[in-house]
Structure 1
């Protein structure tokens, strides 16, 4: 069986732009961009929920909120739990999968990125992906960036403007660029 480009990315393969299946990425992103027009044109929670289900293929739980505008490149690989709040102007690049567990708070202008390019210049015209997991009851402050392959632990706090380059342990507060532990939560 041939894997589609997203299955290949999620299994750890780096996909060069010259790959014959690379066009699937642009096609999926175009589909999502068209659907985002409707989501970002409403503030009605029921309409946002309906539009999100069109994008992601999953209904957003009635206890969860996405405040438009929101930006997502594919959407099919983002899972949002119950009692989650995603504030205005967040960007979710989800080709590597984003999992947001229950009771998570995400501030405005947060970037969650699962995609990356190789560092070596000769290999840079390619795309890789690693999953991001935001565990239960975590809080991500305004303008924070979560990079590919990161797990933010249960009850953790990522302060505003932080750039998370390493996993965040449960029950800690991290801050800075790169984010470092500044406090343990009892």
Structure 2
């Protein structure tokens, strides 16, 4: 049997009663400690990147900017490319894995949610996680929500306030709730 982290990232139903759940809970507590440190006093960009590196367990490139405050429930499954911009008050629920490729822009209050609860009422306290990928040069507008299992294609734009429930093809603009195709992006 694989460990609980592999099972979680692969989309298996994870119960809080799983004997290995304390391993997940320990990292949740660590993420809460680090995000509290990020959010309670002013930090310059280098300090934020250092704290974010501790949060994710990987070095954050010097071209990446993360604005305070920032919220996450886990942290270890966040992967950031180069020249990423994360605006203020973004929330990453990352147990399923969140990847932001190079040159991704996130507006304020963007929510990337990889974990959902089971539909069956008997399992409602259990969770199912699916990854989110935001491809190179994509832009997600203010207050948008991206739900589990979604990929935002290269160069695409998610309009402010949208709720993205399905993959967004490359070079397109989507908007609304649920987000729908609005137009293709053309080079001008």
1:37 corresponds to which residue?
A: 36
Give unpaired runs (5+ residues) of structure 1: none
Output the aligned Cα RMSD: 1.0
SS in 1 for 2:181: strand
Following superposition, the deviation at residue 37 of structure 1 comes to 2.0
Contact 1:65 1:86 in 2 (8 A): yes
Following superposition, the deviation at residue 36 of structure 1 comes to 1.4
1:156 corresponds to which residue?
A: 156
SS in 2 for 1:36: helix
Following superposition, the deviation at residue 25 of structure 1 comes to 2.1
Structure 2: how far apart are the matches of 1:79 and 1:139?
A: 17
Taking structure 1 as the reference length, the TM-score comes to: 0.96
2:24 corresponds to which residue?
A: 25
SS in 2 for 1:53: helix
Give unpaired runs (5+ residues) of structure 2: none
Structure 1: how far apart are the matches of 2:177 and 2:10?
A: 29
Structure 2: how far apart are the matches of 1:88 and 1:43?
A: 13
2:46 corresponds to which residue?
A: 46
1:55 corresponds to which residue?
A: 55
1:133 corresponds to which residue?
A: 133
Taking structure 2 as the reference length, the TM-score comes to: 0.95
1:5 corresponds to which residue?
A: 4
Aligned length: 185
Structure 1: how far apart are the matches of 2:10 and 2:140?
A: 27
Structure 1: how far apart are the matches of 2:38 and 2:78?
A: 16
4+ residue runs of structure 1 moved beyond 3 angstroms?
none
SS in 2 for 1:16: coil
Structure 1 residues 45-97: Cα deviation after superposition (integer angstroms, max 9, x where no partner):
01001111111111211111000100011111100100110000000011000
SS in 2 for 1:74: coil
1:97 corresponds to which residue?
A: 97
SS in 2 for 1:51: helix
Following superposition, the deviation at residue 38 of structure 1 comes to 2.0
Structure 1: how far apart are the matches of 2:14 and 2:28?
A: 16
Structure 1: how far apart are the matches of 2:154 and 2:5?
A: 28
Structure 1 residues 140-170: Cα deviation after superposition (integer angstroms, max 9, x where no partner):
0000000000000000000000000000010
1:181 corresponds to which residue?
A: 181
